[in-house]
Amino acid sequence: MTGWAVHGPEMVITKVSPHRLGWVVFSQSERYLRTGEITDAVVGHGPFLVDAVDGSLHGLHATADLEQGEWIEQYLE
C-alpha cells in the first residue's frame, strides 16, 4: 500500500507466557526498555493472545484477569 505509514513507538515483545488457550504476549516500547524513562513507556495497552489452535491474534484488555476473567468464556463462545 503506497503512502501508508504507522506513527508511534517501536514495540518489542517483553514476555511470552503459556496459557490454556495459547500464549499471552506482552510488549513495551523499545525506547522505554532502553532508557527506563517513564515518559517513554506505552501505557494502557493490554497483552495479546495467540490462539494455540489457529494462530490467530486477539487483543486483551489491559486490566483483564488472564486466568479467570470473563473474557475467557466470551472467547470460547
Domain residue limits, the chain: 11-63
Model confidence at 69, in pLDDT bands (50, 70, 90)? confident
DSSP codes of every residue in 25-62: EEEEEHHHHHH--GGG---S---EEEETTT--EEE--T
Average pLDDT in the 43-48 region?
Answer: 94
Which pLDDT does position 1 carry in this prediction?
Answer: 47
Separation of alpha carbons 13 and 28, rounded Å: 7
Question: Cell triple for residue 46?
Answer: 493490554
The structure's pTM equals: 0.83
Nearest residue to 27 via CA among 45, 40, 39: 45
Residue 3 has pLDDT above 90, yes or no: no
Whole-Å CA distances, 18 to 22, 64, 67:
6, 16, 11
